[in-house]
Structure 1
Amino acid sequence: MELWIEWWSHVRQLRPAFSRTRTFIWFAVALAAMCVRGDLLGVTSFVRTLGLKACCYDRLLDLFHSRALSLDALTRLWVRLVVSTLKSLLYTVGGRIVLVADGIKVAKTGRKMPAVKKLHQESDNNTKPEFIFGHSCQAVGLIMRAAAGFVAVPLACRIHEGVVFSNRDHRSLLDKLVLLVQSLGVELPFYMVADTYYAAANIIRPLLKAGQHLVAAVRSNAVAYEPVPPAEVPRRGRPRIYGKKIKLKTLFTDEEAFISAPSPVYAEKNVTLHYRVVDLVWRPVGCVVRFVLVIHPTRGRKILLATDLSLGGLQVIELYGVRFKIEVSFKQAIYTLGTYAYHFWMSAMTPRSRRSGNQYLHRKPAAYREQVRRKIAAYHAHIQLGIIAQGLLQTLALRCTATVWKRFGSWMRTIRPDILPSEFVVAIALRHSLPVFIADSPDDHILVKFIRDRIDLSRHEGAYLLAA
């Protein structure tokens, strides 16, 4: 029961994001169900998990489409809650917290689902098809220190491709990611860590303008320029910016310029890598940035970029090493939480073509465009619900590790109490203690009373929850 008390103490802080108390309570019900459900079959799993009456299904669908839910306010409150609750566990480098950003493509087969388009997947995993129909999303997470490494707590994720409401909107995916980061309202200075795709002027310039920095990888064929030394005698005209052109991969040939050091990447022991730091002018942003060339004994060569010239080479490598944690977060979101397992169709939508790209709506009636916006907002509400559920499971794992293992009450081939429990383990611990929470909570507990009044005792799930 103590896990649920901790859980509720965090959830009730999200109340200001809802203009109606009833909408907030339905949100808390959906959040509780997502944290403990045993299957990922859409909203129906919420009803089964909590043993709710059949009429609750439509009410849960109404929640995701409700105007009483402010998505931006909910996201900002969630970010503030994560930072304040886990402040002592924030991973910082040089006084800056670390954000990680990446994209995720989620398969969707519905022909009446807005923003579904044909997407190309680039992956070394041979189980992924090269092309899928689905939603293209971009996500941002916050890195926390854990017992044996790091964990990426998700903050926000949005669908950034598939629908064009105005033919005057020329924003790229990079521009939309910057807007997403800015909408989070992060007040602390931060480093944003991302992969090669995000090493671009559209990302770097807004970050530098806001006093933030980027750490990313660059392509192996990237080029840079030597800085131009100040002229001894001023000349007429605009001063030169770019000196001699350098292909970055050619810098690997000078082996004597590399420094050997133990790998700073988490979980790597007895590994020695070689690195070289070079400050050069990068044409996309027109200023000096720091390049770190890395030779890893098993992972090969990598070129990293940092806009903060005060970072050391090993610090850049360590920062980029935690980027993969957002990939782990995606895996948990898909297979444990079902964050992207929504199936909201739009009955009035014109069925998309089987060879579809973006859906251009600038010639559609205003009422039709508003329906599409409402449906995409429902997708975003479901995604944010999953993000908060995953973040709460991670928070319980970080703050209540011993209690989670105590309430786990199941079997695993190897249980290591000194290791941070996964979202799967925390979900099982919450599931096992849910009947006690519902039975022993006071009668005036707003969430428990709401659930008790809607439990269907004719079904096994409802009878089980009230049997404690």
Structure 2
Amino acid sequence: VLIGLLKVIKGRWACLPLSQRFYLPQKAINAKSDNMRVAGKVVSFQTKLQQAVEMVIQVAQHFAGVDIIIVCDSWFGNNGLFKPLRTKLGNFVHLLSRLRSNTVLYSIPKIGSSKKPGRPKKYGSRLGSCAEMAAAFMAYASTYHVFLYGKYREVNAYSQIVMLKTLKCPVRVVWVFRKTQWIAIFSTDLKLSVEQIIEYYGARWKIESGFKEIKQDIGSSKSQTRNAQAVINHINFSIMAATIIWIYGSRLENIPERRHKVKGRNSFAFSDLRHIIAKSALSDDFHAVCNQDNKLPRKSFLEALLRMVG
């Protein structure tokens, strides 16, 4: 389980990995095998949602008072992630994810002037499933100009604010229509525009690209470590290296050029930043900048890293 910061760097989205946890199955932990031990101790079981909640709370402490939007796939986009985060962080945290086609949506309850016995309604009338509403709204979709996958594209979409029982709160749902398919994206932050919701969810794919960068470009998949602690140390150094490379890219004066041209892709790649760093490290000026005699004060690495990103 990995969390990262989605950030626009030189005109393209990038995922800067911040923290990770290895998911260990309950059955494997109960077996008490050697590879289930960290620092000689058997680890306690945590679900993937619990691991994600723990990491997000740790990172959120460095952004006090700032709205945090959690962009995730439909597996994480539920109350198992949202409720504990809202309990701990309050209304500053929001969820942006994809809805399943069979998810039932409800209208916003009307606040009437007449006082009836009992508690007021939390949900309005049943509107239908995502699939049913997509079929009804397709003819009413509007065209939006959205920055998506490296360039501005025209996207047909329809938006409506509804109640979602799985999260027990109002959400803005955006149906995005393609030629033969559609998807439904939701956000608990009602202030986000249709364009922002589509763009942020499209940027979520950079999380998947981040796995490739860590495994292949950094070389984590070729690690020769044999015990759990060594694997954890190696992956931590790998995600730290990936984040530092992206921070370096954000500080460049000019937009890097793409060395290996790919049809339909004009923005630079992660490997291009690695090439620039390697070239700079071999220059004569490198040791003048990175003086080994200088001693840096001891500070929280994560705090310094997040400050550089901001």
Shorter-chain TM-score range? 0.7 to 0.9
Superposed CA deviations along residues 32-83 of structure 1, whole A, max 9, x for unmatched, are: xxxxxxxxxxxxxxxxxxxxxxxxxxxxxxxxxxxxxxxxxxxxxxxxxxxx
Pick one of 267, 270, 282 that aligns with 1:423.
270
Q: Which secondary structure does the structure 2 equivalent of 1:241 belong to?
A: coil
* Structure 2 equivalent of residue 173 of structure 1: 48
Q: Structure 1 residue 314: deviation in Å?
A: 2.0
Q: Which secondary structure does the structure 2 equivalent of 1:262 belong to?
A: strand
Instruction: Give the total of aligned pairs.
Output: 270
8 Å contact kept, 2:162–2:170: yes
CA gap of 1:179–1:437, structure 2 versus 1, over 3 A, is farther
* Structure 1 equivalent of residue 58 of structure 2: 183
Q: Is 1:259 the counterpart of 2:142 in the alignment? A: yes
Partner Cα separation in structure 2 for residue 412 and residue 388 of structure 1: 24
* Structure 1 equivalent of residue 232 of structure 2: 380
CA gap of 1:398–1:312, structure 2 versus 1, over 3 A, is closer
Q: Which has the higher contact order (CA 8 A, sep 6+)?
A: 1
* Structure 1 equivalent of residue 15 of structure 2: 152
Q: TM-score, normalised by structure 2?
A: 0.74
Partner Cα separation in structure 2 for residue 152 and residue 335 of structure 1: 16
* Structure 1 equivalent of residue 162 of structure 2: 280
Instruction: Give the aligned residue type for 2:159.
Output: V
Q: Structure 1 residue 140: deviation in Å?
A: 1.1
Partner Cα separation in structure 1 for residue 218 and residue 131 of structure 2: 41
8 Å contact kept, 1:277–1:291: yes
* Structure 2 equivalent of residue 331 of structure 1: 212
Instruction: Give the aligned residue type for 1:296.
Output: R
Rg comparison, structure with higher value = 1
Partner Cα separation in structure 2 for residue 216 and residue 239 of structure 1: 29
Partner Cα separation in structure 2 for residue 149 and residue 198 of structure 1: 25
Q: Is 1:314 the counterpart of 2:190 in the alignment? A: no
* Structure 2 equivalent of residue 161 of structure 1: 24
Q: Structure 1 residue 308: deviation in Å?
A: 1.0
Q: Is 1:249 the counterpart of 2:131 in the alignment? A: yes
Q: Structure 1 residue 303: deviation in Å?
A: 0.3
Q: Structure 1 residue 381: deviation in Å?
A: 1.9
Unaligned runs of 5+ in 2: 31-43, 295-310
Q: Structure 1 residue 218: deviation in Å?
A: 1.0
Q: TM-score, normalised by structure 1?
A: 0.51
* Structure 1 equivalent of residue 104 of structure 2: 223
Q: Which secondary structure does the structure 2 equivalent of 1:197 belong to?
A: coil
Partner Cα separation in structure 2 for residue 442 and residue 320 of structure 1: 39
Q: Structure 1 residue 252: deviation in Å?
A: 2.0
Pick one of 293, 297, 315 that aligns with 2:175.
293
CA gap of 1:163–1:441, structure 2 versus 1, over 3 A, is farther
8 Å contact kept, 2:21–2:51: no
Partner Cα separation in structure 2 for residue 427 and residue 293 of structure 1: 38
**Could you tell me the percent identity over the aligned residues?**
20
Pick one of 213, 224, 239 that aligns with 1:343.
224
RMSD: 3.3
Q: Structure 1 residue 278: deviation in Å?
A: 1.7
Q: Is 1:202 the counterpart of 2:80 in the alignment? A: yes
Q: Structure 1 residue 157: deviation in Å?
A: 1.5
Q: Which secondary structure does the structure 1 equivalent of 2:175 belong to?
A: strand
Aligned counterparts, 1:393-408, within 5 A: 393-400=245-252
* Structure 1 equivalent of residue 35 of structure 2: none
Superposed CA deviations along residues 316-343 of structure 1, whole A, max 9, x for unmatched, are: 1121111111111211111110234433
Superposed CA deviations along residues 270-311 of structure 1, whole A, max 9, x for unmatched, are: x4322222222211122222211111347x301011001122
Partner Cα separation in structure 2 for residue 402 and residue 186 of structure 1: 29
8 Å contact kept, 1:227–1:288: yes
Pick one of 95, 111, 119 that aligns with 1:238.
119
Pick one of 230, 236, 241 that aligns with 1:389.
241
Instruction: Give the aligned residue type for 2:192.
Output: L
Superposed CA deviations along residues 352-373 of structure 1, whole A, max 9, x for unmatched, are: xxxxxxxxxxxxxxxxxxxxxx
8 Å contact kept, 1:401–1:420: no
